[in-house]
A and B are shown apart, each in its own frame.
Chain A
Amino acid sequence: MRSFVSKLLIATVVLSLLAVSLAACGATPEPQVVEKVVKETVIVEGTPEVVEKVVTEVVETEVEVEKVVTATPEPTNKIVTFAWTQEPDSMNWVYSNMWFSSILQQLFHCWAWEFDDQNLPFPRLVTEIPSMENGGLSEDGLVITMHLRDDIVWSDGTPITGEDFVFTYDMIMDPANAVASVYPYDYIASVEAPDAQTVVVTFSEPFAPWQSLLWRGVMPKHILEPVFEADGTIDEAEWNRAPTVGCGPYNFAEWESGSYMRFVKNPNYWAGEANIDEIYLQFVPDDASQTAALIAGDADLGTFPPISDVPILEAGDVKVMVQSSGYEEGWFFNFRDMASPGAKDVVVRQAIAMAIDREAINQDLLLGLTKPVETLWDPIAAAGYVSPDIEPWPYDPEAAKQMLDDAGYVDSDGDGIREDLDGNPLTLIHGTTIREIRQDNQAVTQQYLREVGIDLQILSYDSDLFFGSYSDGSPAALGEIDIMEWSDSTAFPDPDQNYWLCSELPTDENPWGYNYFGCDEQLDALFQAQITTIDSEERVAIIQEITKYMHDQVYWLGMWDDPDMWIVGPRLTNVTFSGVTPFYSIIDWDVVE
């Protein structure tokens, strides 16, 4: 027995040591990764204010590093760590819609045009953004001509040309490639490159919101074309996982699954040199752990803190920055045939809008970081598109009660819940995802509605079930929920939106339809018109009419604007974000110790 135990212990110890060694050996960062340590020491020594404690710590660390690391670092690198909630699923932008994947594009990739902290577009790969005034947009709105800068190169020095754009379009549209979305490229008839610096995009019919949706990246033809020719698809291209050739201020360096991703400064970046040398993305899926890492200084940047953690973060010298990104949290009402009678009655919907104190919800649940919204169209970025005639729904429970009384909804059996003229209780089913803030909102609004005699039954689902399709039996698609809550954006900042179209109703014949709300022919006609109207004034007028109509009908009731929330540690300076291309100014970011 003793020998068995001994063997077991020895084997365990050997395995452990072996595993530690193997894990530590794998993908050791380049020598410059450790170089930072010495530089920090120098800076700290020159900072008498913090001196004694910090110097002691750093000296101890330095001794430890010297014991282990053989390569002596040089004091040159500035390294920052981003706590990244979700690990990207692909580094090729056409294969991912994941937010945590797509916003990375500004680090190692490039868009034709990007957006600044006011969410206004500025040219990146093009010399100017196409418009009718500069001849980049044809009178009929069908042809967009883009002129590329002549100094843009991939990180390996190869020029970026119109051929890369043509190749990108071809790859997106090729059925052999299972890309995440072909929208809006499936509206395009052709993409041509008459010369290296010119790209001509021709639509089959006018497509107004092109600026928000086109060329959110380009693929390097010289890297991926050989892969496509060899494999018949780029689905499995190495570049999708390791885009070592990019065109952003940083180069992709390495990706250890589940652990981290590393980017180093791109020396060939034409738009300037970044101040920060290396960026680590540490994957931190747990919100509480992200908070701890930021307070402890183990991470310099985080995203979307739990609202309840904001005071703790701010007390820990960490800044929470809010940036409007077009997303709005709201209630989508189901007015299809199978919905509860109350949900289909505009009077009930209007009474609900007045029975909920949305300002209090924003102050109490979201600590005043957000504000109530009236339409799905962002009140700031899409301000011109929102009808000026919209009067925000006031919090007026007495008026709500009166409206319900007048419409015949009265509490005839004294149970606190109103009944309709047929004696059916005014019960509505509210469904959302399991996101904590939504469940909190369900509980609060349930109380508000109870006070005016409306019974709100609340349900929550995993997001893959909630957003599942009709054929998958998603309760939202099947119409089993009267009020659905989630956060969504129109194409941003240009306010396209088409899922209220009657043709998108999910049915046995159209199981992929995503109009879970209902068909309103007047609304349908307006949505049909806005997408093909190129005249900007006319289009703005149509969208304003849509916003006013939807607001008055309460087809959508806004709860709060849902901005991007960034948690910025004290080491980072010069930090600004865009709601569309968050890292548009990353080369200006810097680090202070």
Chain B
Amino acid sequence: MTRYIIRRLLQAIPLLFFISVILFVLMRSSSDPVATMGGRRVMRPEDRERLSRQLGLDQPLYVQYLYWLIGNDWTAIDVDGDGVAETPGTQRGVLRGEFGKSLVVRGEQAMDIIMERVPRTLLLMIPAEFVIILFSLVVGIFSALRQYSIADNVITAVSFVGYSMPIFFIALVSMYLFAVKFKEWGLPYLPTVGMFDPQMGKTPSQVMLHMVLPIFSIAFISIAGYSRYVRSQMLETMHQDYIRTARAKGLQESAVVFLHALKNASLPLVTIIGLDIPLLLAGAVVTETIFSWPGMGLLFIEHVSRGDVPVVMGILMLISVAVVLFQLLTDVTYAWLDPRIRYE
């Protein structure tokens, strides 16, 4: 197992390098950060030329990538445009732990900007994932144990409706219903946007109150999908011989369902969760945007639209690393849960 893990980690190095090259080329080819710096007016050519030079965007693409990767503190750059590279570079590069400075929030290290958002994204995404897992299991098991009952049919119908709805629709409808309309009708209502009400202060209760609608929006669609998955896995498992044997031995139904059936049915679910966990870092782009939740998804949207290569690359590489690591962790967990699986 140890050799397997080491081999997988070594394989990840060229993979991440390859990913970084592709992402960097795509990012730089598809956007011009300076074009968005003019505000509502078109930027003056003299300013555009100067800023491109000062921010190092006038360099060939491979040079920009090289600086991003290994830094430019080993060379000099031409800041004043006289054709002479006289100013020492200050960038240290990704390989030395520096993703570069943001082109939008000038002077700020990209990783500092990202790490400021990570806790807020996790604050939203971890409870959301918890809600998704919990409700998917409850709904899926309930549905499987009552196959073709009225309750099962209703759940199935709601699941399909939920799964087919776009998240922005659920988010906006829930906001208008539970925040705007409930207030209008004099009912207890939820807040629309942000993490807290400035009139109330940033208290834990305020933050939790502001989490309700975003989590509902994120969870609703996922529960609809995952519960179907749990249901089908449970149905398959419940018809296995060993379940019949367990029942024949006189085990309580709860023990049959939760100890024997769920354990085996949940194996594929572990894979799905394993894939989900690294994506928690990415945040929920649509939900965070609609509810103005200051997480990674919103950060990504704001900075990708302005071509902020250091920040966007930082986010993407962070997610890439997390995906690689959690894939490995999922595989290891899978072997741990199912003794039949062996890695050589």
Binding site for B on A (CB under 8 A): 1-2, 4-5, 9, 12-13, 15-16, 19-24, 26-29, 33-34, 36-37, 40, 53, 61, 64-65, 67-69, 79, 81, 83, 86-87, 89-90, 95-99, 102, 175-176, 178, 180-183, 186, 235-237, 240-241, 256-260, 262, 278, 280, 282-286, 288-290, 292-293, 295-299, 327, 462-465, 467-469, 472, 474, 487-489, 499, 504, 510, 512-514
Query: A292 touching B207 by the CB < 8 A rule?
Result: no
Least CB separation from B264: chain A residue: A1
Smallest Cβ distance from A497 to chain B, in angstroms?
A: 10
A258 to B172 alpha-carbon distance, docked (Å): 20
Query: B204 touching A24 by the CB < 8 A rule?
Result: yes
B268 at the interface (CB under 8 A from A): no
Partner of B183, one of A99, A296, A299: A296
Partner of B194, one of A64, A260, A297: A260
Query: B266 touching A462 by the CB < 8 A rule?
Result: no
Smallest Cβ distance from A303 to chain B, in angstroms?
A: 12
Interface residues of B in 258-280 (CB under 8 A from A): 258-259, 262-263, 266
B98 at the interface (CB under 8 A from A): no
Query: A285 touching B292 by the CB < 8 A rule?
Result: yes
B73 at the interface (CB under 8 A from A): no
Least CB separation from A489: chain B residue: B41
Query: A240 touching B35 by the CB < 8 A rule?
Result: no
Query: B39 touching A298 by the CB < 8 A rule?
Result: no
Binding site for A on B (CB under 8 A): 30-51, 54-55, 79-81, 87, 101, 104-108, 113, 116-117, 119-120, 122-123, 126-127, 129-130, 133-134, 172, 175-176, 179-180, 183, 186, 189, 191-195, 197-208, 211, 258-259, 262-263, 266, 289-292, 294-295, 298-299, 301-302, 305-307, 337
A4 to B269 alpha-carbon distance, docked (Å): 13
A299 to B291 alpha-carbon distance, docked (Å): 13
Query: A99 touching B46 by the CB < 8 A rule?
Result: no
Contacts of A181 in B (CB 8 A): 43-44, 47
Query: A15 touching B32 by the CB < 8 A rule?
Result: no
Smallest Cβ distance from A343 to chain B, in angstroms?
A: 19
The 5 closest A-B pairs by CB, nearest first: A258-B294, A236-B107, A97-B39, A512-B45, A175-B80
Smallest Cβ distance from B28 to chain A, in angstroms?
A: 10
Query: A289 touching B193 by the CB < 8 A rule?
Result: yes
Query: A37 touching B200 by the CB < 8 A rule?
Result: yes
A447 to B242 alpha-carbon distance, docked (Å): 69
A296 to B189 alpha-carbon distance, docked (Å): 10
Query: B129 touching A12 by the CB < 8 A rule?
Result: yes
Query: A488 touching B41 by the CB < 8 A rule?
Result: yes
Query: B290 touching A288 by the CB < 8 A rule?
Result: yes
Q: Given A23-B195, A178-B55, does the pair A472, B259 have CB atoms closer than 8 Å?
A: no
Contacts of A513 in B (CB 8 A): 45
Query: B179 touching A296 by the CB < 8 A rule?
Result: yes
Contacts of A65 in B (CB 8 A): 200-201, 203
Query: B117 touching A257 by the CB < 8 A rule?
Result: yes
Interface centre among B47, B266, B337 (most CB of A within 10 A): B47
A488 to B42 alpha-carbon distance, docked (Å): 8
Query: B106 touching A89 by the CB < 8 A rule?
Result: yes
Query: A28 touching B79 by the CB < 8 A rule?
Result: no
Partner of B202, one of A29, A40, A178: A29
Least CB separation from A92: chain B residue: B106
A510 to B45 alpha-carbon distance, docked (Å): 9
A4 to B259 alpha-carbon distance, docked (Å): 12
Smallest Cβ distance from B50 to chain A, in angstroms?
A: 7
Partner of A283, one of B39, B129, B189, B292: B292
Partner of B258, one of A2, A40, A280, A512: A2
Query: B54 touching A178 by the CB < 8 A rule?
Result: yes
Query: A282 touching B130 by the CB < 8 A rule?
Result: no
A441 to B113 alpha-carbon distance, docked (Å): 38
Query: B266 touching A1 by the CB < 8 A rule?
Result: yes
Smallest Cβ distance from A419 to chain B, in angstroms?
A: 34
Partner of A180, one of B37, B40, B290, B337: B37
Smallest Cβ distance from B248 to chain A, in angstroms?
A: 21
Contacts of A296 in B (CB 8 A): 179-180, 183, 189, 191-192
Least CB separation from B197: chain A residue: A298
Query: A33 touching B292 by the CB < 8 A rule?
Result: no
Contacts of B189 in A (CB 8 A): 296
A540 to B37 alpha-carbon distance, docked (Å): 31
Partner of A292, one of B79, B175, B299: B175
Q: Give 4 new A-B contacts, CB below 8 A, not counting A12-B127, A28-B201.
A: A235-B107, A241-B108, A285-B302, A289-B193
Query: B105 touching A53 by the CB < 8 A rule?
Result: no
A512 to B32 alpha-carbon distance, docked (Å): 12
Contacts of A53 in B (CB 8 A): 186
Query: A464 touching B290 by the CB < 8 A rule?
Result: no
Least CB separation from A562: chain B residue: B40
A16 to B211 alpha-carbon distance, docked (Å): 12
Query: B35 touching A98 by the CB < 8 A rule?
Result: no
Least CB separation from B203: chain A residue: A68
Q: Given A87-B302, A289-B175, does the pair A15, B122 have CB atoms closer than 8 Å?
A: yes
Query: B207 touching A23 by the CB < 8 A rule?
Result: yes
Interface centre among B30, B46, B193, B262 (most CB of A within 10 A): B193
Name 19 interchain pairs, CB-CB below 8 A, sorted by A. A2-B263, A9-B130, A23-B119, A23-B120, A23-B195, A26-B202, A67-B205, A97-B39, A183-B46, A260-B198, A282-B198, A285-B289, A285-B292, A289-B192, A298-B193, A464-B305, A489-B41, A512-B45, A514-B43
Query: A29 touching B35 by the CB < 8 A rule?
Result: no
Partner of B299, one of A15, A23, A258, A472: A258
Query: B107 touching A81 by the CB < 8 A rule?
Result: no
Query: B337 touching A469 by the CB < 8 A rule?
Result: no
Query: B38 touching A467 by the CB < 8 A rule?
Result: yes
Smallest Cβ distance from B269 to chain A, in angstroms?
A: 10
A260 to B33 alpha-carbon distance, docked (Å): 24
Least CB separation from B336: chain A residue: A4
Smallest Cβ distance from B240 to chain A, in angstroms?
A: 16
Query: B191 touching A258 by the CB < 8 A rule?
Result: no
Query: A292 touching B180 by the CB < 8 A rule?
Result: yes
Query: A499 touching B42 by the CB < 8 A rule?
Result: yes
Partner of A97, one of B37, B106, B208: B37
Query: B38 touching A97 by the CB < 8 A rule?
Result: yes
Query: A16 touching B44 by the CB < 8 A rule?
Result: no
Q: Given A260-B198, A298-B191, A489-B41, does the pair A21, B204 have CB atoms closer than 8 Å?
A: yes
Query: B116 touching A257 by the CB < 8 A rule?
Result: yes
Contacts of B41 in A (CB 8 A): 97, 488-489
Contacts of B183 in A (CB 8 A): 296-297
Smallest Cβ distance from B225 to chain A, in angstroms?
A: 19
Query: A178 touching B51 by the CB < 8 A rule?
Result: yes
